[in-house]
Amino acid sequence: MIIDFHSHILPGIDDGAKTWTDFLEISQLAAAAGITHMVCTPHFIYKEVEFKPETYYRLLSEARYKLREQGLNISLISGSEVFYVPKLLFCLKEGLIITINNGNKYLMVEFARFDIPNNVGETITMLKNQGITPIIAHPERNLVFSNEPELLIKLIKRGALSQLNVGSIVGEYGDKIRKTAELFLKSGIIHLLGSDVHSPKNAFRNFNLGMETIERLVGVKMTIELKDINPLKIIKGDMLEPYFIELKYKKSFLKIDPNNIKRNLKELLRGGKDLNGPS
Ligand SMILES: [Fe+2]
């Protein structure tokens, strides 16, 4: 079983798949890569990029129907990727955002690539007090976490979980992000894996290589936890205690050398079109 915990496959709802043809092409490639479950996580940015839950669920049921029609054996699970705003709790209360499997227990949250607001720790505690565990989307792609992994660990200690993009470990977003992904995986900071697929172009091209690389880095047992056991617990709404093992790194390799800032920025730019927005 492989559970892809992060995807933008529902058409026309965000910057992911544009058409049902895109959706089916992505699904075929996912099935060929061995993926059995996909959590459908379109972007939600309060007051900027919103969608109505009714629209989401209509698309999701149509998507399930289309997969059945094509004989593709992939289970689709509901969710969203919510851009961090201090009003996260308000959005939840108003029913504006979709939690994982609509269970009101887990919520995927993403941060701007260059910024982690100061009040995030408090928001995580408030969410936990409401019975909701935030899942930090692809922290390896965030420059602040990459330069200061201790900050991510602090948030995990407050109860957050984290999801890594499989493409990060094979250098799809550049070498700095690849090294960060390696560090986070080896340190046990990561709890879930996802493709973050947005379009059929190059979809899952490196997914199997990424999974092999992860298995080589953390071993078979941990890989099964990441792709299978942990996500299943979350989908069922069971408790998954955040954990991290031990920070395994030499601080120097992650720090940006001022002489190489241009090179690092180039790498980051190669990793995405929008530097400070959602990814
Ligand atoms: Fe995403």
Which pLDDT tens digit goes with each residue over 92-111?
Answer: 999 999 999 999 999 999 99
* Residues lying with their CB under 5 A of ligand 1, a single-atom ion: 81, 196
24 alpha carbon – ligand 1 mean position (Å)? 18
Helix ranges (H only) for the chain are: 20-32, 53-70, 88-93, 120-129, 143-147, 149-157, 175-186, 207-224, 230-236, 251-254, 261-270
Q: What is the spatial distance between Cα 139 and Cα 200, in angstroms, rounded to a whole number?
A: 24
The alpha carbon of 247 and the centre of ligand 1 are apart by a number of angstroms equal to: 26
Tokens standing for 151?
């900050």
Backbone conformation region of residue 157, classed left if phi is above 0, alpha if psi is from -120 to 50, else beta: alpha
* 220 token code pair: 């078979």
What's the CA-to-centroid distance between 187 and ligand 1, angstroms? 23
Q: Are 239 and 13 in contact (CB under 8 A)?
A: no
Predicted local distance difference test score (pLDDT) of residue 51? 92
- Rg (C-alpha) for the chain, rounded Å, is 18
Instruction: Parse the chain into domains and list their residue ranges.
Output: 3-270
> What spatial distance separates the first Cα and last Cα of the chain, rounded to whole Å?
26
| Residue 90: C-alpha distances to residues 16, 25, 133, 185 (Å) | 26, 36, 16, 33
Backbone angles phi, psi at 78, to 5 degrees: -80, 155
Q: Are 176 and 186 in contact (CB under 8 A)?
A: no
Gap from CA of 165 to ligand 1 centroid (Å): 9
**How far is the centre of ligand 1, averaged over its atoms, from the C-alpha of 266 (Å)?**
21
* Per-residue pLDDT tens over the stretch 161-197: 999 999 999 999 999 999 999 999 999 999 999 999 9
Residue 70 token pair: 């094509």
* Cβ–Cβ under 8 Å, residues 132 and 106: yes
Q: How far is the CA of 69 from the centre of ligand 1 (A)?
A: 27
Q: Which pLDDT score is estimated for 259?
A: 43
φ, ψ for residue 109, nearest 5 deg: -125, 135
Q: How do beta strands 75-78 and 37-40 pair? A: parallel
Name the CATH code of domain 3-270 (choices 3.20.20.140, 3.40.50.720, 3.40.50.150, 3.30.420.40). Answer: 3.20.20.140
Residue closest to 148 by CA, chosen among 191, 184, 178 = 184
- CA–centroid distance, residue 137 to ligand 1 (Å): 7
Check residue 271 and give its pLDDT: 41
Q: 259 CA to middle of ligand 1, Å?
A: 31
Give every residue of the chain whose pLDDT is below 50, as ranges.
252-277
